[in-house]
């Protein structure tokens, strides 16, 4: 019997990831290689390796960047201390922070200015969380579960405001927000619908996919928060769910006795990796491939002005 592959829709790159990759590629074109990128521009090994081949150098800290070198900050955002260090060193910086992450930073600063205790809903150690905490000039308490809300050392009438990591499970976040409202009498924060549109759309799509699949394969890197959430959703819905970097990671045993495999991809995983998974499955079984109906995403984020100016000059010269 042929194996039926069903693709989630939407899947893969979001507007923030597309923008970040474009920034690195255009910076290389505009200023020449190498350009230096602090941390991975997005959490996907394949994308990082491709950009490295084109002339990007990925570093852990700004101290690893040579004087005067073009420097790009990753899509996850950075703390103010990093921005200050870059300014003090007079590094020419291009900020690739996703605009939706920047929105979280602005919300947090606004709530802090209003005198509220800031609660950040997110995962300790994630690059976006580190950056968000470092963007708010006030104490920030991190929580990742409703149980941690119960342990917060604040009085019930403390004015609380929450902001969220953009790549979380929407359902888990909704539960944490409910716990904050139950514990405290004065809580402000964005609606759960304000979580990154791409995160919500991909999680909704994977739920639909899990309903019609025997096995779920999520394409994405291990350090990708949103990819891990997609796999977890499949597991929570009771189907065997696997996270893979690409086709080479697919175990033939996963499809033994299986009729339908659902495939999706995290927001930082390119279509080429999805195609590699389909190709691997095609070497194991005859395939039929279809795609679920889903939300059409047409969000685009503008590039930083310095790269937009270059594009305008190039077009003018061509004319």
- Contacts for 230 with CB less than 8 Å, ≥ 6 apart: 202, 203, 206, 218, 220, 264, 266
* Gap between the Cα atoms of 28 and 201, Å rounded: 32
Give the DSSP H or E segment for 198. Answer: helix 197-211
Tokens at 299, concatenated: 């969000």
Instruction: Identify the residue whose tokens are 């061509």.
Output: 318
Number of Cβ within 10 Å of residue 315's Cβ equals 9
The residues that bridge with 277 in the sheet, in sequence order, are none
Per 3-state DSSP, the chain is made up of helix, strand and coil in percentages (nearest 5) of 45, 20, 35
- How far, in Å, are 160, 185, 215, 256 from residue 290 at the CA level? 46, 49, 15, 20
- Contacts for 228 with CB less than 8 Å, ≥ 6 apart: 220, 222, 243
Judge contact between 272 and 11, C-beta under 8 A: no
The residues that bridge with 71 in the sheet, in sequence order, are 36, 93
- How far, in Å, are 6, 280, 308, 314 from residue 317 at the CA level? 46, 45, 14, 5
Report the candidate in 3, 7, 5 with the shortest Cα–Cα distance to residue 292.
7
Tokens at 37, concatenated: 């990128």
- How far, in Å, are 20, 95, 207, 270 from residue 53 at the CA level? 16, 21, 36, 16
**Active-site positions?**
128
Number of Cβ within 10 Å of residue 319's Cβ equals 5
The three-state secondary structure class of 222 is coil
Tokens at 67, concatenated: 């004087």
């Amino acid at each position: 019997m042929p194996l039926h592959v069903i693709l989630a829709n939407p899947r893969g790159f979001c507007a923030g990831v597309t923008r970040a990759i474009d920034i690195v590629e255009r910076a290389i074109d505009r200023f020449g290689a190498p350009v230096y990128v602090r941390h991975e521009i997005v959490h996907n090994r394949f994308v990082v390796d491709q950009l490295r081949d084109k002339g990007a150098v990925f570093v852990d800290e700004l101290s690893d960047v040579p004087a005067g070198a073009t420097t790009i900050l990753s899509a996850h955002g950075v703390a103010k201390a990093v921005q200050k260090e870059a300014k003090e060193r007079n590094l020419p910086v291009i900020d690739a922070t996703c605009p939706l992450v920047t929105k979280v930073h602005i919300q947090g600063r606004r709530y802090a200015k209003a005198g509220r205790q800031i609660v950040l809903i997110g995962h300790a150690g994630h690059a976006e969380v580190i950056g968000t905490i470092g963007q708010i000039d006030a104490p920030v308490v991190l929580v990742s579960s409703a149980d941690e809300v119960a342990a917060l050392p604040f009085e019930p009438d403390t004015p609380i405001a929450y902001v969220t990591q953009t790549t979380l499970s929407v359902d888990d976040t909704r539960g944490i927000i409910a716990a904050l409202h139950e514990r405290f009498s004065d809580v402000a924060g964005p609606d759960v619908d304000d979580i990154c549109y791409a995160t919500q759309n991909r999680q909704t799509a994977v739920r639909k996919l899990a309903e019609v699949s025997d096995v779920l394969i999520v394409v994405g890197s291990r350090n990708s928060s949103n990819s891990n959430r997609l796999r977890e959703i499949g597991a929570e819905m009771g189907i065997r769910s696997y996270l893979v970097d690409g086709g080479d990671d697919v175990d033939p045993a996963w499809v033994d006795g299986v009729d339908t495999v659902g495939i999706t991809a995290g927001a930082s995983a390119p279509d080429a990796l999805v195609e590699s998974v389909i190709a691997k499955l095609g070497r194991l079984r005859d395939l039929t491939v279809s795609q679920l109906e889903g939300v059409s995403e047409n969000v685009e984020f503008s590039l930083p002005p310095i790269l937009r100016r270059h594009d305008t000059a190039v077009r003018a010269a061509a004319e």
